[in-house]
Amino acid sequence: VSAYVCELAWLGAGDVESEVVVEVEDGRFSRVGPGAPAPPRAQRLDGLTIPGFANAHSHAFHRALRGRTESDGGSFWTWREAMYSLAGALDPDRYHALARATFAEMALAGITAVGEFHYLHHGPGGAPYDDPNEIGRALVAAAAEAGIRIALLDACYLHGGPGRELEGTQRRFADADAEAWVRRVEELGGLGAGARLGAAIHSVRAVDPASAATVAAWAGARGCPLHAHVSEQPAENEDCRAAHGRTPAALLADAGALSERFTAVHFTHVEERDISLLGDARGYCLLCPTTERELADGIGPARAIADAGVRLALGSDSHAMIDHFEEMRAVELDQRLASGKRGHHTASELLRAATDDGHAAIGWPEAGRIEAGAIADLVTVALDGVRLTGVTPATALESLVFAATAADVRGVVVGGREVVRDGVHAGLDVAAELRAAIGAVTEAAVQR
Ligand SMILES: [Zn+2]
């Protein structure tokens, strides 16, 4: 049993409490007691301690694009060409190194579990590796080495668009058909203690309705999460309507994809009926505001979506930055700019999206709260730095959501294991690993 005394803690609901004693046994919280006597040898956590963040939507290799696509203007679609060029240069070893460093950057930012939406499956030209899941396994190993949990959301990707052939690097993403996707994913087997498997339909661009139904049926039979990119760009909606006479959300509903295990990623350009379909299914909407800004996607109607009964989750997606404080406040602040009004989402609602609901969306429902029985994740934010000093317990939650940054994270415990202490990763030199991994991938991309 290990024990902590949190100077201040937000346990996943309610107000911030003082002097909270937390005990951990076998990776789970065994006792959480505000005002309880501290056991001997309890470690003191100064600052505000919150549950671990779930980064529920990630494409780890996009990390190498950070800052490299900002000077050319263009659109989502020209950005996608840069991403394809990078994807073409990855091999399992380079991807493992890049993912490990990226997941370690997440750990430093207070992220204790990642939902890795994995679509780069095969070798150059689309030839499978000897183990057709070699890259998926490399991602699982990378998360373990970085000290965080992973949901490997294996994405089915079949087409270059409705009725369009695959082109270039897209061949590396694709299985022959949905049945081949099922066979490959079933070969993954058990992934180890810190990893769980989920399914993904890349998008209605890349997966036809019948194949979407096959993936949805597989995920339903297995009871695992199912994610899909939905209505990120207006052109996606137009193509879907032209080809199928429906919106992407309606197509996915007809394919049997929508349920309380379904997560619509982005869900930006949506109609009222799309929102009610997802709300009636009790699904999740996964917002990635820093990426949606970076790619000029637009601002989705987050308040209306939440009011329909949809739970919100957050992801850093393309990793333009990895900072869930920024993702949280962006949900509210973008609504303010779009509406001319303040006060759409409270700090505790935004924190719940980043923690409890985010973990549930990626199939770790027993994480994201500090309560007896839950997975023992603790994220401690320093309150004595220049951004947050002077905070009082009464406004600490609002200060955290609206002013903290990832650099204010001082300590991170994942499943009872200390991964970050005093702002430093316990096992890895994260900046050095990022520098080396990004350098190797970008050099290989130039040489191609
Ligand atoms: Zn994405």
pLDDT of residue 403: 97
pLDDT of residue 70: 83
In angstroms, the CA 373 to CA 390 distance is: 34
Span from the CA of 91 to the centroid of ligand 1 (angstroms): 20
Which residues are tagged catalytic?
266, 317
Q: Is 31 helix (H, G, I), strand (E, B) or coil?
A: strand
pLDDT of residue 69: 85
Contacts of residues 349-353 at CB distance under 8 Å and 24 or more positions apart, as own/partner, are 349/306, 349/312, 350/401, 351/10, 351/50, 351/397, 351/400, 351/401, 352/12, 352/13, 353/287, 353/311, 353/312, 353/313, 353/314, 353/328
In angstroms, the CA 56 to CA 196 distance is: 13
Span from the CA of 434 to the centroid of ligand 1 (angstroms): 21
pLDDT of residue 1: 76
In angstroms, the CA 54 to CA 363 distance is: 11
pLDDT of residue 263: 98
C-beta of residue 399 within 8 angstroms of C-beta of residue 382: no
In angstroms, the CA 20 to CA 364 distance is: 24
Span from the CA of 66 to the centroid of ligand 1 (angstroms): 15
pLDDT of residue 152: 98
Close Cβ partners of 187 (under 8 Å, ≥ 6 residues apart): 132, 133
Close Cβ partners of 161 (under 8 Å, ≥ 6 residues apart): 205, 206, 239
Span from the CA of 300 to the centroid of ligand 1 (angstroms): 15
Span from the CA of 242 to the centroid of ligand 1 (angstroms): 23
pLDDT of residue 337: 96
CA angle 355, 360, 365 (to 5 degrees): 100
Ion ligand 1 residues within 5 Å by Cβ: 317
Q: Which residues of the chain have pLDDT under 50?
A: none
pLDDT of residue 82: 87
pLDDT of residue 61: 96
pLDDT of residue 68: 87
Close Cβ partners of 222 (under 8 Å, ≥ 6 residues apart): 197, 199
Span from the CA of 16 to the centroid of ligand 1 (angstroms): 33
pLDDT of residue 235: 95
Span from the CA of 350 to the centroid of ligand 1 (angstroms): 20
Span from the CA of 190 to the centroid of ligand 1 (angstroms): 25
In angstroms, the CA 448 to CA 445 distance is: 5
Residue corresponding to tokens 């668009």: 161
